Structure 1
């Protein structure tokens, strides 16, 4: 079978003979099936499909064809700092970005990070990413973020945020409204959300920002259930003021009570689980066990490359492992043994695809391979890897065996953006140069000693950041021991962490 090296605009594409995971409600497996793409849509699925003249054919034999994965929470602007915070706690992350060095990022640095993150996503088969962009200190930063996303052939949702100002302040600014008018045009490739957190302050200072979201008709994505920062009081305030909607996405949700989960379930929202983050940073134990008990929709995310991987293969693997680990440990504590797994590999793949589509309001055209839906899809195939065969349990293979290096082909909106393990039309050396300029700028602005210390932090004498949101003096007595109160000097204490 021919293996074309060029895919012209409007040229149909067919993937031949793969194991197809449509990600429909039945979680079918279609053996030796073809997927035909015409323009930006899936035109047909089945064996030995007839195709239009001139169709580009891709041999998917021995591989898995599945929907493009969807990441519902990624701080793309931080990608220039890849791996820098590998040994951080969440408190150290808050101090570095919220209090000390996050404000050093220029618009061009946001552009560089977003560009690299966007390319990294499509390379790993993540065709849609929610850019949880809380580094938008100015509209110039926001324009740079959008320019970067527009420059990469992926699908994105800009979740606009600004950790350097109160949500009520930046959402009320005329320049923010002007940005929305200029840049958010309803384009199919660029969605829009507002990204801010709710501290639990009884005064509910975030209320005006929710009202702006309601006025604009856009969803809010919020870090909820983050130990020491946002908790049950945040959920209660949102609920009592009528700001919990089916479109709301609660990120982490790992330190919440049953009452908060009930409120989320009753109002139809969804939870974005970032298992690598929750395991390592300490928001709380990855909460899929509790979410499933309350029948709340789930999507997956990787959070930030400052610490963790930029692919959803890792997210799937760690999420299933964490859920099963808790089940076993809970049973062991009672002297019992788990004999059957409740959470299965096919459900995890569903969360990485259909779950993400539902969370961003695209459940009708993304997240599954069905005729008439958008042609965002991935071929997992690696003829040079001994791990690529035998292919017995395709869902288990995706979750536990595959990795980003096995992504052979990626289509976004019907366009081939990766083929034979190589990105199509991406100038990676130019992106590298931009990232190097950002790193040089940050090192210079911080000074070499501070730069090195940030990457190699001391073991902190205290482990708290009572409230990273500087626009309110609220402190939560429910999330810290008595020795950690005394909150008026929280900035000074954490700077020493």
Structure 2
């Protein structure tokens, strides 16, 4: 198969239902997509293919742009499912306070490698590696090594939860890493990833200044209950660091004023609905983002909890938005007669919306002549859930799953075909990940490893601050503890 799918060979997907993700959210039945080199050469019915082109039968399937995940902690993927029952507090305790420090560069590599493979397998052709486990430059090198070992499109969002962003961003090691590894090609982009606690001294200002100097976008967890709030947004705005390139992750517990600031400065929000529903960052905010006309993209956060595909993310996003709409209507004795969030909108958020948020809209996110050829074919002749194909957008958002991803093309190269990854040594990746799991089990010990999956009460009881590099405490999120201590 590898010889047949050799890079550089033209590819034509024949007779599929094409969702180009244009502004009209068109549906093009019985349409071909021709890929020549790394570009989409033509879209239309009955296309003439160049000699030697690989022809893929897309009849009965859906051809769409590759999906884009704007926020994934890829380094944690070797811990897949470990924290399925965690709250956000338990996540903070395990990774930020206790055991995240134990991850070696090779463990960052293992998680990133598995996550990168998982992305392309699920039709996610561009993934942001929200890499906040980079304790040293060696950890960062390992992260990039893994991303470069997989034929997907990635963005490294550099972060370090064990040090203040004003510290690591000013270090010579960080500057050297940026110079050596971050050339910002089409296949590997770069962001800086750090959070703003709301400390009125605004120590994060120094990191924003570094980002501005390096011309690097900033991605930040904003509106996360117990960690970041409206004060952080206000400080960013007052100091002139809110720009259209910013991505605000979650944005689930912000007030109207913060949403207005994001809208006014043109920023985008990365919604990770499965995570927000399960972990406690706040109610998934798409209802508020729609009201303020804020740009939206979709992400899955981390496989330590959730699945690594965007089908489930789209489905849960629709469900959360509609659930809130119904509950608000019922509370005042009314009913919802038309859902305001529709399937075609969440498919757009998972493709075009992600490209727009990352500033890559001129390259990917839609299927059109001259764009980079990041293309996904959803087709599964063995599945009774893949027919009849009546509402293609609804089918993608509500019916399809990762096992239905038939073919994935990234930058014109077929990386998955007939449900099989191409040129990926999955057994080697398994061995790499198993070595990390075995190491962590040894480091923690059998009892701590077992208890870590279901911790009844975190050892710290209640977090004063998940960011251990600062003494700042917010009265908004710690009033209950302060009151208890005073009463005691």
Could you tell me the TM-score, scaled by structure 1's length? Answer: 0.96
Number of matched pairs? 486
Paired residue for 1:409? 407
Structure 1 residue runs of 4 or more that deviate by more than 6 Å after TM superposition = none
Query: Is 1:129 matched with 2:142?
Result: no
**Aligned-residue offset at 1:487:** 9.1
TM-aligned CA deviation for residue 406 of structure 1: 0.1
Residue 478 of structure 1 aligns to a residue in which SS? helix
Once residues 330 and 476 of structure 2 are traced to their aligned partners in structure 1, the CA distance between those partners, rounded to angstroms, is 29
SS in structure 1 of the partner of residue 208 of structure 2:
helix
Q: Does the aligned pair in 2 maintain the 1:252–1:278 contact within 8 Å?
A: yes
Alignment check: 8 A CA contact 1:238 1:244 kept: yes
Contact 1:111 1:144 (C-alpha < 8 Å) held by counterparts: yes
Give the Å deviation of 1:188. 1.2
Q: Which moved more, 1:463-472 or 1:357-366?
A: 463-472
For residues 87-98 of structure 1, the aligned pairs below 5 Å read: 87-98=85-96
Equivalent residue, structure 1, for 2:315: 317
Q: Give deviations 1:262-287, integer Å, cap 9, x for gaps.
A: 00000000000000000000000000
Q: Distance in 2 between matches of 1:465 and 1:65?
A: 46
1:24 aligns to what?
22
Which structure 2 residue ranges, 5 or more long, are not aligned?
A: none
CA separation of 1:148 and 1:485: change in aligned 2, threshold 3 A: farther
- The separation in 2 between residues aligned to 1:414 and 1:200, in whole angstroms, is 44
CA distance in 2, matches of 1:404, 1:293: 31
Seen in structure 2, the aligned counterparts of structure 1 residues 314 and 166 have a Cα distance that, compared at 3 Å, is: same
Q: 1:367 to 1:459 in 2, by over 3 A?
A: same
1:203 counterpart = 2:201? yes
CA distance in 2, matches of 1:345, 1:479: 35
Q: Deviations over 1:148-197 (max 9, x none)?
A: 00000000000000001000000000011000000011321000000000
Give the root-mean-square deviation of aligned CA atoms.
1.5
**Can you list the C-alpha shifts for 1:185-240, whole angstroms capped at 9, x where unaligned?**
13210000000000000111111000000000010000000001000000000000
Note if 1:335 corresponds to 2:333. Answer: yes
- Superposed CA offset, 1:289-348 (max 9, x none): 000000000000000000001000000000001000000000011111111111110000
Flag structure 1 segments of 5+ consecutive residues without an equivalent.
489-497
Deviations 1:442-473 (A, max 9, x none): 01011111111101211569974231112221
1:481 CA displacement: 3.7
Counterpart in the other structure of 1:69: 67
Distance 1:78 1:462, change over 3 A: closer
In structure 2, the partner of 1:213 is: 211
Q: Which residue of 1 aligns with 2:304?
A: 306
Q: Matches of 2:53 and 2:295 in 1, distance apart?
A: 38
Structural mapping, 1:74-113, within 5 Å? 74-113=72-111
State the 1:480 CA deviation: 3.8
- Counterpart in the other structure of 2:170: 172
Contact preservation (8 Å) 1:279, 1:286: yes
Tell me the distance in 1 between the aligned counterparts of 2:96 and 2:302. 15
Q: Of the candidates 228, 239, 250, which is equivalent to residue 226 of structure 2?
A: 228
Aligned-partner Cα distance in 2 for 1:207–1:17: 53
1:354 aligns with 2:341: no
Cα distance in 1 between the residues matched to 2:101 and 2:484? 26
Residue 482 of structure 1: how far off its partner (Å): 3.1
